[in-house]
Each structure stands twice: as structure tokens, then as C-alpha cells.
Amino acid sequence: MKIPPRDMSTYTQILYQIVYGTYRRQKTMCADTRQDLYKFMTGLLQHKKCHVYRINGVEDHVHILISLNPTVALSTLVKDLKLASTAHIKQNNLFPVFNGWAEGYGAFTYSLKEKDRLIEYIKNQEEHHKKQNSEDELRSLLKEHNVKFDERYFS
């Protein structure tokens, strides 16, 4: 008796850098409580079966480097992350003048070969932003990935 071939399993490697900012790019995320936010976000992402490589940011935005689980829609993940983190921030009074997250986000895919470089880049956000503001950083990411954008969102 011949055994039929098994169905193929699902294999993916979807490395994303997700970037989003505070409402109107307000510098509301205090350095001393950001780690609490990042721990919360890490737990939520792990619950959604995403592998978290690094989360970091500065006063007005956050960078997240993950391997996205193929059962999770990116837009739903970001929406859930923003909603849950906003509630966490407010419940724990992490950032007293935090007014929420900006509506949009950037999400950029990378080869796994770039993972270590991206981890270092995200880890060193404070140092990086001494040389480049968040708007110029986002413009650079959009240009690097050939994403068309509306300059009006930067003024």
C-alpha cells in the first residue's frame, strides 16, 4: 500500500521593523518608565506568537523588531498593540502627559541577515537621535524601502 504524501507545513521568516510615534510626535515618553512599556509590549507580542528581537525608542516614537507569526495580520497586531499599550500606560500612569499614539505606522521587512544590525540600531536609539530627528529617520526608512509618502505628514 502506497502512503500518500503529507500536506506541506507552513514555513515563514517574516522579519519586521515596526515604527510608530506618539500623537503629534509629542515628546511624552519619559526615559525612566519606557522599559515598563517595552516589557508589556514584549509580553503582548509573545502572546500573539511573535518572536521579539528588540523594542526601544525615544520620547516620541518606538521601534519594534519582530518575526511576525504567519497567523497574525500586521495591521491587527499594530492596532492591538497600540490599544493595549495605551491602556497600560494610562492604568499605570507611566507617562503622565501621554495623549495616545499617532494614527499610522511604518512597517519594513528585512532579510534575516540584517537582524543583528537592526538589533544594534534599535538598541542605540538615544545615541542615534542625537544626530537625526525622528521625522528625518522616518523619511530615511521610507526612502530606503522605496515607499511613497506624503510630505504633508511631516510638517
- Write the pLDDT tens digit of every residue in 39-87: 999 999 999 999 999 999 999 999 999 999 999 999 999 999 999 999 9
Q: How far apart are CA 114 and CA 99, in angstroms?
A: 34
Please state, rounded to an integer, the average pLDDT across all residues of the chain: 94
Tally the domains of the chain: 1
Order of strands across the sheet that contains 51-58? 51-58, 61-67, 15-21, 106-110
Q: How far apart are CA 5 and CA 42, in angstroms?
A: 38
pTM of the shown model: 0.92
Range of the domain at 55: 15-146
Write the CATH number for 101.
3.30.70.1290
Q: For residues 113-130, give the mean pLDDT.
A: 96
In a domain, residue 74? The reply is: yes
Q: For residues 123-135, give the mean pLDDT.
A: 93
In a domain, residue 154? The reply is: no
The whole-angstrom distance between residue 105's C-alpha and the CA centroid of its chain comes to 8
In a domain, residue 5? The reply is: no
Q: How far apart are CA 24 and CA 103, in angstroms?
A: 9
CA dihedral 147, 128, 43, 94 (to 10 degrees): -110
In a domain, residue 7? The reply is: no
In a domain, residue 47? The reply is: yes
pLDDT band at 155 (very low <50, low <70, confident <90, very high): low
